[in-house]
Amino acid sequence: MRRVLLRSFIVLCGVALLAAGVAWAVYARARVLVVERVEHGPWEVPTRIHPAPLVLKPGSTLPPGPLADVLDGLGYQRVANPVQPGEFGLASAQRAVVVPRPGWPGLEDVPRDAIEFSHVDGKVTELKRRKGMPLTRAVVPGVPLAEIRGPEGESRRPVALKDIPQALQDAVIAVEDRRFREHHGVDPRGVARALLTNVTSDARQGGSTLTQQLAKNMFLTQERTLSRKLKELFFALALEDAYPKDRILELYLNEIYLGQHGSVSICGVGQAALAYFSKEPARLTLDEAALLAGMIRAPNAYAPDRHPEKARTRRDVVLHLMLEQGRINRKQHDAAVAAPVRVRPTVTVQRQAPWAVDDLVDLINEVVPGVELRSAGLHVETTLDGRIQRAAENALRRGLEKVDARAGVPLEGAVVVMQPAHGNVLAMVGGRSYADSQFNRASRGKRQPGSVFKPLVYLGAFHLLGRSLAPTTLLDDEPLTLTLGGKPWSPRNSDRKFHGEITVRDAVEQSLNVPTVRVGVQVGLPRLVEFLGQLGLAGRLDPVPSLVLGAFDMSPLEVAAAYAALADGAYVPPRMLRRVRDAQGRVLMDGASDAVEVATDEEAYLVRDLMRGVLERGTGRAARALGYHHPASGKTGTTTESRDAWFAGMDGQLLAVVWLGADQPVPTGLTGAQAALPIWVDLMNAIRKNDAPPADPVPAGLTAVDICDESRHRATTHCPARHREVYWRGAEPLDACPVHAEPSDRMEALLRSLPRRLQDLFGGITD
């Protein structure tokens, strides 16, 4: 018997030693895994793509359109008395109050309380905090356009423990693990208490510590098996051994799952505070902190935006536990219990501007190579405007629906909206439906621009020919034969007619081909190609006559970029990517496009003025009948056999280019005026509404004069038909209309022109 007992003891000791060795090996391995995971980034933090924030400074220009629409587009809600982040109010037509949403790391000048500003004619006149302290600058961030997430769809914003209020820390500990500060990862008393509760009542209570929950969520599955529970214990012990309590609590608060918005999983208190209250965690009140802590047990069942009464009941349980454990006093408890459940959810980030986001991802990978975007936690600042993006998508969809039956073939389209003075892309729509086709026709679709290219030709002509060319210069619209590819080529007008001697203005307004070709030949095709190369087309053009009629391929984005030079004569390469920061706010990429002066302001203005005539009297005059009444410049374009329909138009702040056609170039039977122009009108009306664009003053080197349509002299009050004409300063007509003028009109014109006549007579000696 003694031998049997001795052998049994030895075997048991061996088994115990073996078990201890195995346990130690498992523990050691768990500790290695814990340290590796925590030190090398415990989570996948999505890259967030942000729209351009609203930047306010005294004297700065507000975005186009009504201010209420601008703020709504950034994800702000209009209320009578804005007090919560994400709210705004209009005290009057010229005064607004905004409570900014939280920004992102590194974004400066985002006020944490309400700001108030006044504006007149689209410019900020006064900026201050609501309490009266003046501000020199304030940034109002918008809701992200997109998140580049991993396959789990987790949306997380890691927050340091120092930025998580003590009330939230206490609430979580009170309801999830009251002895968190006392145990070493596993709490036998907690397990015993849970077993007793489960046996003696219908309520179910878990015995896992906060550390065990963290171990399960970070390293294990949710399956309920003995082996998983044992692994959980080892990982919990390893966590407690490797890190102090504060670090474990920080990891836990950033790890926990706190609900679902569509396909997006809300993880961590940083994201939850924003998702449910539009706040940074540091700004949570006691009742809000208790509500979030109460959600941990069953996040979707206690979601305050969907189940406010259940959320309130659960919140009050947490507050009672906090009072019972001495973490709050009776006064704090009663005030928090009395507070209503007030939810101010942030708009769930579903991907907006999908074609633009795809292009942005490619750009980010170029400027920050080797980064895994779905887990890097980058913050990408763009030039995009969510409101204008939605307006462009809606306008294209409605426009395509209207012309589908008339076209007889499946049509696609593209829209680009830019801020021409800076090259900023505000919106990009690459097709009818991103779900059906991810091909970006706005940036990658190359089609012939046709007559929409002509204003760029005239810009080059004004620049290269100088004062010898003006809107009133006469051109021959007569048969013309040139050599193209070694063969005779005779351009024709779209109406198959010739109109004799016409002005440059008439040629542009009526989109006549023959006189435009004559201008190109007069300039010299090699010189014209060199000039156009400065508009982003270098190496793309051949010096052939058909060039001036747009007989080569361009994308809508390239058309918009080239048109931007019409704003002030400077070409600015288009950009969507403004700045890239890492998760800590450090700038990884920052840069603006450099402007290249290609023409003078006067030369650009002349082309804009010719294009204004297109909308008033020319091929784009349907814009007025369709309801667009603000001043603007535009140009229609229709390619051979109506394969492509274009319209490009701009005002003092906005430039929009619309293209319609079939993916396989086939005749559609639709012109630019019929198909593309109505979409442009719909888009611009949606953006502008009743807010007129800024004025377009005549530059110093030009003069605007009212001209009689019949005589082409200075108009009098008796001329029945007139239009405003622009001349190089000093070249404007002096004499009053000889057909309709009264003697008093002629005398007034003579007196007005006397200084000019004397100057011409004496060679500039007489002033």
CB 512 within 8 A of CB 500: no
- As a whole number of Å, the end-to-end CA separation of the chain is 135
CA trace torsion 346, 349, 354, 359 (10° rounding): 100
Q: Token pair for residue 76?
A: 């702000």
Measure Cα distances from 279 to 85, 164, 380, 500 in Å: 6, 12, 20, 69
Question: 461: Cβ–Cβ under 8 A, 6 or more apart, which residues?
Answer: 469, 519, 520, 522, 523, 528
Measure Cα distances from 507 to 455, 552, 563, 644 in Å: 11, 21, 19, 21
CA trace torsion 350, 352, 358, 363 (10° rounding): -110
Give the H/E segment covering residue 227: helix 226-242
SS (H, E, C) 84-122: CCCEEEEEECCEEEEECCCCCCCCCCCCCCCEEEEEECC
Q: Is 7 in a helix, a strand, or coil?
A: helix
Catalytic residue among 87, 176, 240, 280: 176
Q: Is 97 left (phi over 0), alpha (psi -120 to 50) or beta?
A: beta
Q: Token pair for residue 326?
A: 């001495």
For residue 541, give the amino acid letter.
L
CA trace torsion 12, 17, 19, 22 (10° rounding): -160
The upper half-sphere exposure of residue 464, i.e. CA atoms within 13 Å in the direction of its Cβ, equals 20
* Length of the chain as a residue count: 767
Q: Is 309 a catalytic residue?
A: no
SS (H, E, C) 374-391: HHHCCEEEECCCHHHHHH
CA 678, CA 302: separation in Å to the nearest integer?
48
H helices, E strands: number in the chain: 23, 28
- Tell me how many degrees the CA angle 83-385-68 measures, rounded to the nearest 5: 40
Alpha helices by DSSP H, 325-424: 330-338, 354-367, 373-376, 386-407
Q: Is 451 a catalytic residue?
A: yes
Residue 359 CB-density burial (10 A; 0-12 exposed, 13-18 middle, 19+ buried):
buried
Catalytic residue among 155, 208, 278, 451: 451
Q: Is 54 in a helix, a strand, or coil?
A: strand
| Cβ neighbours, 10 Å, residue 406 | 12
Q: Is 635 in a helix, a strand, or coil?
A: strand
CB 129 within 8 A of CB 138: no
Q: Token pair for residue 83?
A: 């007090």
| Cβ neighbours, 10 Å, residue 544 | 17
Q: Token pair for residue 293?
A: 């802590």
CA 708, CA 741: separation in Å to the nearest integer?
10
In DSSP notation, 445-498 reads --B--GGGGHHHHHHHHHHHHGGG--TT-EEEES---EEETTEEE----TTS--
CA 414, CA 439: separation in Å to the nearest integer?
11
Residues annotated as catalytic are 176, 451
